[in-house]
Amino acid sequence: MAESTPLRQIKPAKGILEYLAIRKIRNDNRMFMTADTKKISVFHQLMFCWFMPKDFSLYVCTEYGKVVGYMLLRKKQDTYLITEAVDRRYRGMGIASDMIQFAQLLCKRLAADILNTNIASINLHEKMGFKLKIYTSYKKTYVWESPL
Ligand SMILES: CC(C)(COP(=O)(O)OP(=O)(O)OC[C@H]1O[C@@H](n2cnc3c(N)ncnc32)[C@H](O)[C@@H]1OP(=O)(O)O)[C@@H](O)C(=O)NCCC(=O)NCCS
C-alpha cells in the first residue's frame, strides 16, 4: 500500500527544494527579523544549508508535503535561540505554535528576540509560555524554560 504524506509534519530541512522554499519565506519576512535583515541570494541560502554551522538546526513544517513554514534554532550555551516564519497564506492555522511546541520537546531553554512592533510574534510566544526577560526600545527578549 502506498504511504500517504501526513497533513502536517515538522522535520529537519533537507534537500534543495526545501532550502529554496525556506529562502522564499525568509525573504518575504525579513523585515520582521532582528538580525541579518537583508535578502538572501540562492547561492547564500544553499551555502548556508549545505555547510550549516554546527550550532544551527533548521526545520520545516510541511502540509501535504508543501513547505509552509520554517524554524531555525541556534545553540548558545544552554539556550537555543529560536526564529520561525510561516508562509502568509497559511497563517492563523497553528503552524508556528506547532513548531514552537516541537522545539519545546527538543530543548530545555529557548529564547526569542522579537521586534517591539511584531505583535503577532509577541502574542505567539506569550501564548507558548515564554516570559519577557529583557526589553530595549527596539526589541524584546522572551525566554521559555522547561518545567521538567
Ligand atoms: C508570527 C508568526 C510566525 C505566527 O505564525 P502562525 O502560524 O500564524 O501562528 P499561530 O497560528 O500558531 O498563532 C498562535 C498565536 O499567535 C498569535 N498571533 C498569530 N498571528 C497573529 C496576528 N496576526 N495578530 C495577533 N496575534 C497573532 C495569537 O496569539 C495566536 O493564538 P490564537 O490563534 O489563539 O489567537 C507569523 O505571523 C509570521 O510568520 N510572521 C512573520 C515572521 C515573524 O514575525 N517571525 C517571528 C520572528 S521573532
CATH number at residue 63: 3.40.630.30
pTM, two decimal places: 0.94
Q: Which domain holds residue 12?
A: 8-107
72 occurs within a structural domain = yes
Q: CA distances (Å), 70 to each of 73, 135, 148, in order?
A: 10, 26, 26
117 occurs within a structural domain = no
At 38, list the grid cell: 537583508
For residue 114 and ligand 1, the question of a CB distance below 6 A is answered with yes
67 occurs within a structural domain = yes
119 occurs within a structural domain = no
> Which pLDDT tens digit goes with each residue over 95-138?
999 999 999 999 999 999 999 999 999 999 999 999 999 999 99
Domain count, the chain: 1
Residue 46, classified by CB atoms within 10 Å of its CB into exposed (0-12), middle (13-18) or buried (19+), is: middle
For residue 25 and ligand 1, the question of a CB distance below 6 A is answered with no
| Cα 93 to middle of ligand 1, angstroms | 9
For residue 103 and ligand 1, the question of a CB distance below 6 A is answered with no
| Cα 82 to middle of ligand 1, angstroms | 14
137 occurs within a structural domain = no
